[in-house]
């Protein structure tokens, strides 16, 4: 669908006479189908983002203050969901590719500022119990507060500390530690870890580890794969199951843990800037980390608006480096006791 617009001088667009907000594109002039095809989201979702981020994107200290929040958000969504600064996308909203890049930076920071508002564990007792009930309904695994795993996102080679971002496949990446609930909504997202770090090392150094060790999330546990050590708050599968109960436990663990794998696929499918199909993120590790976190925030907001996590087909994804780790049982005797009791009480 062709949208008639006028491409104005870039400097005028950025700074404007008297720093006025310039409207280049009217959401009401196009269909939802067009918005979804170009920007990945329908009209009402975009209106919500304008209300949520408008004040931050209108701050007089920003260089792109003459570009309306609506246009900045469209530019950022276009990049997140396509993975490139396409000329036709910039033309559609009346800004240059350079201006689009600045809009992406502004919207990214505004979303990162609100990350804790949308990505967090539930705190009240009723919500925590509902979280456990939802997980139990998947495969009969009790006490689950979240499923945890890491995923790599490719980035360009940084100028400094280059080797720390090289993963096991020889690619530069960020290793992102995430936890989600049974619906695929993220409860925790740490997106800044260098790709050379193995999953277990990332968790050991993560803020999430400190929270659980301090007892901030009690009366339950996370589920993680064998790249993590067994903890009192982190249940892992048995390396060599022998009894019927152990096989049942491993099957329930695997079925429940698969939610995070599906969530990773959905995020990479919805936000093609992360899936590697258009190349690596061409930013510093810090800026790349912020873009990933911004996409995580949008993922959770989209769930709140009924855009189902399972509705987007997994059309592409970055090939993940295979973790090479020894299958070692934890030396934490208390953690072993808790898992043993779990086996006896629920899977025997």
Q: Which residues contact 173 (CB under 8 A, 6 or more apart)?
A: 152, 153, 154, 155, 165, 167, 195, 318, 321
**Chain segment 230-288, per-residue pLDDT in tens:** 999 999 999 999 999 999 999 999 999 999 999 999 999 999 999 877 778 999 999 99
Is residue 306 in some structural domain? no
Is residue 300 in some structural domain? no
CA distances from 170 to 157, 162, 196, 292 (A): 11, 11, 9, 21
Retrieve residue 240's tokens.
Answer: 């060599």
Confidence of residue 310 (pLDDT cuts 50, 70, 90): low
CA 235 distance to own-chain centroid: 23
Confidence of residue 111 (pLDDT cuts 50, 70, 90): very high
d(CA 281, CA 291) in angstroms, rounded, equals 9
Tell which wins on pLDDT, 69 or 314.
69
Which range is least confidently modeled, 54-63, 166-175, 193-202? 54-63
Taking alpha carbons only, the member of 254, 255, 250, 257 closest to residue 343 is 250
Of 76, 92, 117, the one marking the end of a domain is 117
Same domain, 246 and 183: yes
Is residue 5 in some structural domain? no
Retrieve residue 209's tokens.
Answer: 């580890």
Taking alpha carbons only, the member of 76, 22, 28, 25 closest to residue 49 is 76
Same domain, 202 and 273: yes
Residue ranges making up the domain that contains 43: 23-57+67-117
Same domain, 51 and 72: yes
Taking alpha carbons only, the member of 235, 170, 173 closest to residue 202 is 173
Same domain, 107 and 124: no
Structural domains of the chain, count: 2
Q: What are phi and psi of 129, to 5 degrees?
A: -65, -40
Confidence of residue 178 (pLDDT cuts 50, 70, 90): very high
Is residue 3 in some structural domain? no
């Amino acid at each position: 669908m062709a949208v008639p617009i006028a491409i104005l001088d870039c400097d005028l667009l950025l700074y404007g006479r008297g720093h006025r907000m310039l409207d280049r594109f009217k959401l009401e002039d196009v269909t939802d189908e067009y918005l979804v095809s170009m920007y990945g989201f329908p009209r009402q979702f975009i209106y919500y983002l304008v209300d949520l981020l408008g004040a931050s994107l209108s701050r007089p200290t920003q260089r792109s203050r003459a570009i309306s929040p609506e246009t900045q958000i469209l530019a950022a969504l276009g990049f997140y969901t396509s993975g490139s600064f396409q000329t036709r996308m910039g033309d559609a909203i009346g800004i240059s590719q350079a201006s689009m890049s600045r809009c992406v930076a502004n919207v990214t920071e505004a979303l990162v500022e609100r990350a804790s508002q949308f990505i967090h564990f539930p705190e009240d007792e009723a919500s925590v119990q509902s979280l456990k009930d939802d997980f139990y309904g998947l495969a009969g695994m009790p006490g689950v507060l979240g499923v945890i795993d890491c995923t790599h996102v490719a980035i360009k080679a940084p100028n400094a500390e280059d080797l720390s971002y090289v993963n096991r496949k020889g690619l530069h990446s960020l290793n992102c530690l995430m936890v989600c609930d049974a619906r695929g909504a993220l409860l925790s997202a740490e997106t800044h870890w260098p790709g050379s770090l193995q999953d277990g090392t990332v968790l050991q150094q993560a803020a999430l580890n400190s929270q659980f060790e301090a007892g901030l999330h009690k009366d339950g546990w996370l589920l993680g794969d064998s790249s993590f050590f067994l903890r009192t708050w982190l249940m892992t599968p048995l390396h060599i199951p022998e009894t019927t109960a152990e096989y049942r436990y491993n099957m329930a663990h695997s079925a429940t843990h698969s939610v995070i794998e599906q969530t990773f696929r959905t995020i990479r499918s919805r936000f093609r800037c992360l899936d590697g199909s258009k190349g690596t993120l061409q930013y510093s590790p810090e800026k790349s980390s912020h873009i990933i976190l911004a996409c995580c925030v949008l993922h959770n907001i989209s769930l709140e608006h009924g855009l189902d996590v399972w509705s987007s087909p997994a059309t592409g994804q970055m090939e993940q480096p295979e973790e090479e780790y020894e299958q070692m049982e934890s030396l934490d005797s208390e953690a072993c006791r808790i898992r043993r009791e779990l086996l006896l009480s629920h899977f025997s």
